[in-house]
Structure 1
């Protein structure tokens, strides 16, 4: 018996996703489970936060779902999907497919027993766990993600995040950041690595409490979009590569919903 969940793909979303999927080989035995059911199960895990082994029985077996999730990661298909959908969304709103400006930030999240092998203590946020370093465009759409132990300084994490991105983002010229990325050394490195102008957006002197800061609020909103998925409330994954992939999957699901509403 088939059951639909709020996280499941609609027909329009599935059609949009299919357009950007690479052709799968037709050799061998026909698959027992449809690819759409596999994606629905992955999005269910992401949205509800349930362990893979706790997938409802109306989905394919969890071993099959995780196998496809991992295979798509190893083949780089999740990253290609994210890139294609992000470019489609930017073009839909009248922007160039390639961004010229971006915002960088980091978020520290707690780990659990299974994921505690790779973790650290963030003394500023008083969080023992991992740190998610993300780069987003002016619309808040994910460009890059890198997960490290929480005790890694934001400046060092920025280098891990940005290294090698210049060929993938040829139009990128400007990067906004908060005060944690202050320092001439990082700004010089950004210029040498990709010709990027790193600008730190400071709080106005005398400002107390919460205040919305230009440019910086965009990446904060992106982190809140990601955190709406219960699987992202903590870092439950044994491998940081799985954590990074799930962040990409969260943004892919958001983009599919946006593109579906515009079609």
Structure 2
């Protein structure tokens, strides 16, 4: 994990430039725009406080929104995950997925798709991650914090099916029992593995087949834009999580 922000190297840029129209002449270099967006993700700065070495914040934000609408970052992340899996001798598509959620506080002016997680006493949104055995994201969903995991987790299932035709196993904790488990086993015909640490133990206890998703949430703590939910729309929250994972994987391909 990089200890501080670093701009894209030549080798990193070569991996992602194929997803962009880099041939057309523009006032601002797309590589510089990408660096600016990743800087915002890592430092957590407001758009208007973007460093002066980058293009005007309004130009950077324009590309941020444009690439959000066209799904560019999602395609880049999918490609990076496949490259990382293959580099570690695995199939490009996973056969096992671990699911969990994380409630995160919102800032005061956010009102769309929010709620209070009574159990964790968090007023904000809930991030739902589906990751592979390496902790790399298969799919990401963000919804209100007050909705139960077994309800909101359903939004991940059809996305997982679209992401990998090889999925056979879903690992989760007891919060996903009930209707969610019935959908997994009855409709998708996947195996469901439910695990939970013993009540007699306190603190973090790694759970077999599920600890990877906990580690993935820990990785996101290095990105200050994700310490709270600052985004007006949950779709933007998803995008910043995608950006963080893109940075994590690209850092492994530095050079």
Report the TM-score when normalising by structure 1: 0.90
| Conserved? CA contact 2:185–2:191, under 8 Å | yes
Mapped to 1, the partners of 2:9 and 2:175 lie a distance apart of 41
- Map 1:178-197 onto structure 2 (within 5 A): 178-183=173-178, 185-197=179-191
Q: What does residue 29 of structure 2 align with?
A: 34
Mean Cα deviation higher: 205-214 or 186-195 = 205-214
Cα RMSD of the aligned pairs, angstroms, is 1.7
Mapped to 2, the partners of 1:192 and 1:213 lie a distance apart of 25
Post-superposition shift, 1:216? 2.0
| Conserved? CA contact 2:5–2:42, under 8 Å | no
CA distance 1:25–1:95, change in 2 (3 Å)? same
| Conserved? CA contact 1:17–1:256, under 8 Å | no
Mean Cα deviation higher: 233-242 or 157-166 = 157-166
Q: What does residue 260 of structure 1 align with?
A: 254
Q: What does residue 95 of structure 1 align with?
A: 90
1:16-56 C-alpha deviation (Å, 9 max, x unpaired): 222x4244573xxx311101100110011000000111101
2:127 to 85, 108, 132: 132
Aligned residues: 252
1:132-185 C-alpha deviation (Å, 9 max, x unpaired): 0110000000111111110000000110122243132100110100121122x2
Q: What does residue 216 of structure 2 align with?
A: 222
Q: What does residue 14 of structure 1 align with?
A: 13
Post-superposition shift, 1:6? 3.1
Post-superposition shift, 1:57? 1.4
Q: What does residue 170 of structure 1 align with?
A: 165
| Conserved? CA contact 2:22–2:30, under 8 Å | no
> Runs of at least 4 residues of structure 1 off by over 4 A?
none
Three-state SS of the structure 2 residue aligned to 1:94 is coil
Mapped to 1, the partners of 2:155 and 2:115 lie a distance apart of 17
Structure 2 gaps of 5+ residues are none
CA distance 1:205–1:226, change in 2 (3 Å)? closer
Q: What does residue 146 of structure 1 align with?
A: 141
Post-superposition shift, 1:205? 6.0
Structure 1 gaps of 5+ residues are none
1:123 aligns with 2:121: no
CA distance 1:39–1:115, change in 2 (3 Å)? same
Q: What does residue 86 of structure 1 align with?
A: 81
1:202 aligns with 2:200: no
1:84-134 C-alpha deviation (Å, 9 max, x unpaired): 110000000000001000100000000012323431000111101100011
Post-superposition shift, 1:77? 1.0
CA distance 1:50–1:209, change in 2 (3 Å)? closer
Mapped to 2, the partners of 1:179 and 1:212 lie a distance apart of 15
Report the TM-score when normalising by structure 2: 0.93
